[in-house]
Amino acid sequence: MERWISRVAVVTGASSGIGAAIVKDLAKAGMVAVGLARRVELIEQLRKDVPEDAAKRLHAIKCDVSNQDDIDAAFKQVEDQFGGCDVLVNNAGIVRTVPLLDVNNSADIKSVLATNVTGLVLCSQRAYQSMVKRSVDGHIIHISSIVGHMVPNHPNLNVYPASKHAVKAITETMRHEMRDAGKKIKVTSISPGGVRTEILQGVGLPADMPLLDPHDISEAVLYTLGTPPRVQVHEIIIKPAGERI
């Protein structure tokens, strides 16, 4: 992680769960960690959970990644205040738990796709443009899901698996485009199994289902960023021991 010290990392969905763990650990690792979220006050409270020197490097910007104007404003603030984005962790994601064939309000479907797919692409575009503008060999990391590789027989996931399958395809598309453009910017997808976070509330998982801790995913982000420039980590799948999915 030495080469990333004092560089700027942007983490979406940083107010809780996986995003909160990542933004805290990046700040503790020496990066300027900028958390984006709608509940910006929760990110600001995270400073209490890290050492004083890391707290000074942890910053919060209000942003709803389903809103393009919010994304544009957030990345402009990152550029104006910190110089630009060197690392992006696309973590923001939502799920709607109405069975897909029972959906009466298309807004539920649109909101998932706007956050999990469109928002991810737009944030990646803004980060990529910032990296290219400053000739930075940066890194874009997508926090996906095991359901981006298969679809479990579970009625309450709606278009969430479809959105994560899209992330897998988007990651490969970005990798091809970056390579063909002659850029050394990396892109990685990390796909966790079940993680103990707010997003699982209401999904109706078995009570005895083994779950990961958010810091398990954060450690994977640190590992990925810590690889040398010659190493391209395409995909990491992390499952809790004993998971049946």
- Average pLDDT by consecutive 10-residue portion of the chain (245 residues)? 95 97 98 97 96 98 98 98 98 91 88 97 98 98 96 88 98 97 97 85 72 96 97 96 79
When computed from its CA atoms, the radius of gyration of the chain, rounded to whole angstroms, is: 17
* 160 is known as an active-site residue: yes
pLDDT at 227: 97
- Find the length of the chain: 245
Residue-level pLDDT at 202: 64
Q: What is the pLDDT of residue 245?
A: 66
- What local confidence, expressed as pLDDT, does residue 188 receive? 98
Contacts of residue 52, Cβ cutoff 8 Å, sequence gap at least 6: none
**3-state class of 30 per DSSP?**
coil
Topology of the domain comprising 2-238: Rossmann fold (3.40.50)
Q: Are 20 and 43 in contact (CB under 8 A)?
A: yes
Q: Which of 32, 75, 160, 194 is catalytic?
A: 160
Q: Cα separations (Å) of 163 from 33, 115, 147, 234? A: 26, 9, 9, 18
CA 14 to CA 227: how far, in whole Å? Answer: 23
Where residue 239 falls (left for φ over 0; alpha for ψ -120 to 50; beta otherwise) is: beta
Listed by start position, the domains of the chain span 2-238
| Sign of the CA dihedral running 32, 35, 41, 47 | negative
Model pLDDT, residue 1: 87
pLDDT in the model for residue 199? 73
CB 23 within 8 A of CB 218: no
Give the residue among 58, 60, 62, 31 at the shortest CA–CA distance from 47.
Answer: 58
pTM of the model: 0.95
Edge-first strand listing for the sheet containing 186-192: 58-62, 32-37, 8-12, 87-90, 139-143, 186-192, 235-238
